[in-house]
């Protein structure tokens, strides 16, 4: 695990006054949120509430029209596209609802992608990928294509890909939304157990209370606002 960037009393990730507009629609209307280092935070709410937009803003995928996102003491909203892309590659990991694995690549090769992009040589990247796939119970499945895996297995490949670079923060957008209840439980147990063992911060976007129950804290979109603990977020209904 990489060295800590913040003290135990400071949030690793903060949003202040974040506003995001798509056309005439305000997706986020002034966000204030803190995420502590090592915390597993669930952001809940129905479809269209703005929770995925919040994740994209916190991860530097989109730049807010107003406000700031502070990560490790610096305002990532002010970085250019290349610097934000570098940050996402080196510091963040991502798990999506449908895994977003490349269909023509094996499980092993899917996991190597962020490692190769980060400059690892292929032999080392393959060794790291195999170690993570084995750790996630996928020994013997390394050469399989995504279509040859079950939904739960494919999501574990996606988790291996997200963790392979040892990120400080993982952003998981509806990671169990396409899975049955048993596979969903296994995926969340795997993700949260590994994150806690590594001290990795996790932000989970979900509408499912069972998925949210694995988090340390929840913030909930309701009537245009999210509120819980120190996090208060205003979003569109």
pLDDT tens for each residue of 102-153: 999 999 999 999 999 988 999 999 999 999 999 888 999 999 999 999 999 9
C-alpha dist (Å) from residue 232 to 71, 90, 193, 219? 18, 28, 27, 8
Is 95:187 a contact under the CB 8 Å cutoff?
no
Q: Look at residue 139 in the predicted model and tell me its pLDDT.
A: 92
Q: Which residues contact 24 (CB under 8 A, 6 or more apart)?
A: none
Measured in whole angstroms, the distance separating CA 113 from the mean position of its chain's CA atoms is 17
Q: What is the pLDDT of residues 206-215, one digit of tens each?
A: 988 999 999 9
**Parallel/antiparallel/unpaired status of strands 169-173 and 201-206:** parallel
Is 113:161 a contact under the CB 8 Å cutoff?
yes
Lowest mean pLDDT among 5-9, 117-121, 132-136, 229-233: 229-233
Is 173:206 a contact under the CB 8 Å cutoff?
no
Specify the 3-state DSSP secondary structure of 70: strand
Check the CA dihedral 82-86-92-97 and report its sign.
positive
Which residues does residue 69 pair with via DSSP β-bridges, in sequence order? 15
Q: What is the pLDDT of residues 148-198, one digit of tens each?
A: 999 999 999 999 999 999 999 999 999 988 888 888 898 899 899 989 999
- Count of helix runs (H) and strand runs (E) in the chain: 7, 11
Tokens read off for 109: 């090769």
Identify the H or E element spanning 211. Answer: helix 209-212
**Parallel/antiparallel/unpaired status of strands 92-96 and 201-206:** unpaired
Is 57:18 a contact under the CB 8 Å cutoff?
yes
Q: Which residues contact 148 (CB under 8 A, 6 or more apart)?
A: none
Specify the 3-state DSSP secondary structure of 175: coil
Q: How many C-beta atoms surround the C-beta of residue 84 within 10 A?
A: 20
Q: How many C-beta atoms surround the C-beta of residue 124 within 10 A?
A: 12
Class of domain 11-235: alpha beta
Q: Look at residue 13 in the predicted model and tell me its pLDDT.
A: 96
Compute the distance between CA of residue 199 and CA of residue 86 in angstroms, rounded to an integer.
22
Q: Can you tell me the mean pLDDT for 61-80?
A: 94
- Model pTM score: 0.87
């Amino acid at each position: 695990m990489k060295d800590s960037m913040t003290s135990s009393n400071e949030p690793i990730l903060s949003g202040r006054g974040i506003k995001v507009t798509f056309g005439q629609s305000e997706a986020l209307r002034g966000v204030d949120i803190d995420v502590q280092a090592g915390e597993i935070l669930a952001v809940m709410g129905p479809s269209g509430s703005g929770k995925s937009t919040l994740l994209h803003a916190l991860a530097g995928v989109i730049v807010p029209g107003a406000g700031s996102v502070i990560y490790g003491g610096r305002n990532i909203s002010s970085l250019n596209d290349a610097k934000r892309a570098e940050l996402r590659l080196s510091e963040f990991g991502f798990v999506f609802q449908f895994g977003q694995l490349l269909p023509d690549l094996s499980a092993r090769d899917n996991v190597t992608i962020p490692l190769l992009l980060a400059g690892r040589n292929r032999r080392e990247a393959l060794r790291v990928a195999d170690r993570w796939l084995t750790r996630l119970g996928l020994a013997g499945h390394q050469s399989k294509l995504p279509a040859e895996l079950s939904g739960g297995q494919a999501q574990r490949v996606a988790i291996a890909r997200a963790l392979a670079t040892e990120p400080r923060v993982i952003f998981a957008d509806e990671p169990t939304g396409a899975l049955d209840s048993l596979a969903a439980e296994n995926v969340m147990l795997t993700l949260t157990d590994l994150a806690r063992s590594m001290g990795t911060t996790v932000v989970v976007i979900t509408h499912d209370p069972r998925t949210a129950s694995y988090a340390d804290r929840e913030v909930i979109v309701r009537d245009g606002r999210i509120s819980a603990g120190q996090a208060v977020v205003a979003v569109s209904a």
